[in-house]
Chain A
Amino acid sequence: MSRVIPSGPGAGAATGAEPRLAGDLTIWLVIGLEMMTFALMFLSFAVMHARHPVLFEAGRRTLDLHAGALNTVLLVSGSWCVARAVRAATAGDDSRVKAWLAAALTCGAGFVLFKSQEYAHHAGLGLSLSTDDFWMFYWLLTGFHFLHVLAAMAFLAVLLIAGLRPGHLVGLHALETGAAFWHMVDLLWLVLFPLVYVMR
């Protein structure tokens, strides 16, 4: 059974004690690996954009900037909810932890819904991986990121469902571990959105 321990790992950060990495070391190694992979994809996109500016600008103009911005708002808001959940766990307030986790999952579900609508729209126009280089990168970059959003949501959902069982609380260490992965997904979108949707 997982328990909130205010005097545990989270307490040090709140009080400015000795340096500590929030969450499990394993997730940070995974985050490092994922971020290196995305770095290669982002830079490959930038290079191809530079080599084929007309093609990439035509593809970008097909995208819905409003939908991209709305999805940024949802991910950023989800990150804020998760950060508040960790803050509540540090304070030992388990009911608020669950409420903030549910709010974060709602934001994630909103992202999945709007992004799925975008995908359906593009697929309906016949814009696929094989259309041209822009659309190949669009589907690979955003699709890979989309899978990470689903994984982050699954992580948080498991924590929430486990914490909803009678007599169970959301453990701070597990929560920080899930939070770190969620924030990485948000961070990646903060680079992806201007790169794919805005850069001319």
Chain B
Amino acid sequence: MRFDRLDALWLALLAGTATTWWLGEAGRLSSLGTAVLIFGLAIVKGRWVLLDFMALREAPALWRRLMLGWLLGVVGLIVLIRWLVSAAPA
């Protein structure tokens, strides 16, 4: 079996998971900073799963946009809610 893009993405997904774990374990950043990084990673990892593992890169554009839109919309709203809490006066 030749090492190809699927294998590279798997290793990248593992590295992304390790980074998310480390951010949770270390707790060195602010809670908002941590949220931005871990959900940024979730978008990158989710995009790989959608486009490469689920083969949406070869799918009709409407399906690709709907699925990527779900990922960006849901994760974006979660981060927005987290940011609004940080920005609100105590």
Q: Which interface class (under 10, 10 to 19, 20 to 34, 35 or more) fits A?
A: 35 or more
User: Are the CB atoms of B17 and A199 closer together than 8 Å?
Assistant: no
Question: Which residues in chain B, 15-62, are within 8 Å of chain A measured between CB atoms?
Answer: 17-18, 20-21, 23-25, 27, 31, 34-35, 38-39, 41-42, 45-46, 49-50, 52-55, 58-61
Choose, from A38-46, A124-132, A139-147, the stretch at the interface: A38-46
A83 to B7, CA, bound (A): 10
Q: Which interface class (under 10, 10 to 19, 20 to 34, 35 or more) fits B?
A: 35 or more
User: Are the CB atoms of B58 and A19 closer together than 8 Å?
Assistant: yes
Q: Smallest Cβ distance from B9 to chain A, in angstroms?
A: 8
Question: Which residues in chain B, 49-90, are within 8 Å of chain A measured between CB atoms?
Answer: 49-50, 52-55, 58-61, 63, 66-67, 70-71, 73-75, 77-78, 81-82, 84-85
Contacts of B67 in A (CB 8 A): 35
A84 to B70, CA, bound (A): 25
Question: Which residues in chain A, 151-200, are within 8 Å of chain B measured between CB atoms?
Answer: 176, 179-180, 183-184, 186-187, 190-191, 193-195, 197-200
Contacts of B42 in A (CB 8 A): 190-191, 194
Contacts of A16 in B (CB 8 A): 58
Of A22, A43, A186, the contact of B55 (CB 8 Å cutoff): A22
Cβ-closest chain B residue relative to A39 = B74
Q: Smallest Cβ distance from A39 to chain B, in angstroms?
A: 5
A22 to B20, CA, bound (A): 30
Of B21, B34, B52, B54, the contact of A69 (CB 8 Å cutoff): B21
6 smallest A-B Cβ distances: which pairs? A198-B24, A69-B21, A80-B10, A200-B31, A194-B38, A22-B55
Give 12 A-B contacts (CB < 8 Å), ordered by A residue: A12-B58, A20-B59, A35-B67, A69-B21, A80-B10, A187-B54, A191-B42, A191-B71, A193-B20, A194-B20, A198-B20, A199-B38
> Could you list which residues of chain A lie within 8 angstroms of chain B, going by C-beta atoms?
12-13, 16, 19-22, 28, 32, 35-36, 39, 42-43, 46-47, 49-50, 53, 65-66, 68-69, 72-73, 76-77, 79-80, 82-84, 86-87, 176, 179-180, 183-184, 186-187, 190-191, 193-195, 197-200
